[in-house]
Amino acid sequence: MGASGNRPSTPSEIEIEIGAEMAEQLRGTRVAILAADGVERVELEQPRHALQQAGAQTDLLSLHDGEIQARNHDLEDAGTVPVDGLVANASVEDYDALLLPGGTVNPDKLRLDKSAVTFVRDFVTSGKPVAAICHGPWTLVEADVVSGRTLTSYQSIRTDLRNAGANVVDQEVATDGNLLTSRSPDDLPAFCQAIIDTLARSSQAASSVTGSQ
């Protein structure tokens, strides 16, 4: 797992804290985080921190190796974040869930990359959980997986979602099957909790199936 780059997060910076009773409940779960230059730092770090607190392994996948440039409110430099692997080399089978943080530039770069779009499309069609926040659902549009699905997003891209056939709602978390979406950083507490709860249910269901065999 990568560290947090030039400006490492500390528990005091993170509003999402998982209680002791929830720690380790996602041990053995591996989550892919797909992001490119321009990612909104808080939308990457807070969910990653919550997942790691719950025992999950997270891998930051991107379009190039090294580090990606992060932003605060799109315009402010927020340092860099180390990349764990290339999306071009990643396999859906290696992960239990996918996280798509926002930032205006980040999904715009992902939408232009065939490997990234294919990875997202394959993840959604696999039935595994996919969580996207703010501008993150833009990549879902490019992957052609939103038609007939109920989603939310940052207000400025909702027309794109509707034009792609999505049912757009205005609420902090929208869940439709394996798709989980939120509107903005203000929704991060509910977004992170929903991700943890969804993965915990998936993990329990998998354990039940294994135990019954």
Per residue, the 3-state secondary structure of 18-63, as one string, reads CCCCCCCCCCCCEEEEECCCCEEHHHHHHHHHHHHHCCCEEEEEEC
CA distances from 96 to 3, 31, 81 (A): 21, 6, 22
Q: Report which of 159, 155, 128, 126 is spatially closest to residue 141, judged by C-alpha positions.
A: 159
Angstrom distance (rounded) from CA 213 to CA 199: 21
- Under 8 Å between Cβ of 72 and 78: yes
The active-site residue out of 49, 64, 135, 192 is 135
Write down the residue that tokens 């379009």 correspond to.
63
Q: Which of the following is catalytic: 49, 64, 134, 192?
A: 134
134 is catalytic: yes
C-alpha to C-alpha distance for 140 and 147, rounded to whole angstroms: 10
Residue 135 annotated as catalytic: yes
The residues that are catalytic are 134-135
